[in-house]
Amino acid sequence: MAEKKLNYNYIFLFYDVNELRVHKVFKICKKYLFHHQNSVFRGPITPSNIIKLRKELATIVQPKEDFVSIIKVINEYSFEEETLGQKKKDGENLFL
């Protein structure tokens, strides 16, 4: 149900799910977020879309076998990023 605090606008999503369901979870996530690295998505998102995303994932995820973790932050400026090596995914770029 509704959480009290609804003003998160950026999330990180990590998933560790049974192989059978990996691609289904992947498909759902890419509708809302950018693929960051294997089993990790992230990106700006509206509070209403967080509810939608969670609802969609809940229909796939098996509570006994799978684990999905969603870290919510206020916006894309509320964290700092450090990178080692080369980032291969460029979906977040303004230019493609």
Partner 1 sequence: MMGRSTKYLMSMGELKRKDHSLVFRNDKGNTYIPIEGIKEIYCLNEVSLNTKLFQFLSKAGVTVHFFDYHHQYCGTFYPKEQLVSGKLTVMQAQAYMNKRMDIAKAIVQGIAGNIHQVLYHYYKHDRKDLKPFLDWLRKDVPVYLAKDLDSKQVLFIEGEIWRKFYTSFSSFLPADFVMNKRVRRPPDNPMNALVSLGNSILYSKTVSQIYQTHLNQTISFLHEPSESRFSLSLDLCEVFKPIIVFRTIFENVNNRKLQVEKHFERKLNYCLLNKQGKEIFLSSLEERFNSVFQHPVLKRKVSYKTAIKLDAYKLIKLIVENKPFVPFSVKELK
Partner 2 sequence: MKVTGTLVNYYFHCKRQCWLHANKINLEDNSEDVRIGKILHELRAEGNKNSEIAIESIKIDKLTPDYLIEHKKSDANIEAAKWQTLFYLKILKDKGIERKGKIQFDEKNKQEKTIIYVDLTEDIEKRLQELEQEIIDYCSSATPSPAILDKKCKRCAYYDYCYI
Contacting positions for partner 1 (CB under 8 A)? 27, 30-35, 43-46, 49, 52, 76, 89-92, 94-96
Nearer to partner 1, 20 or 91 (CB): 91
Q: What's the Cα-to-Cα distance from 16 to each of 20, 53, 69, rounded to whole Å?
A: 12, 16, 9
Subset of residues 4 to 43 that bind partner 2, contact rule: CB under 8 A: 6
Whole-angstrom distance, CA of residue 49 vs CA of residue 29: 11
Shortest reach from residue 63's CB to partner 1, in Å: 24
Q: Edge-to-edge, what's the strand order for the sheet holding 10-16?
A: 34-37, 40-44, 10-16, 67-73
Tell me which residues touch partner 2 (CB under 8 A): 1-2, 6, 46-48, 51-52, 55
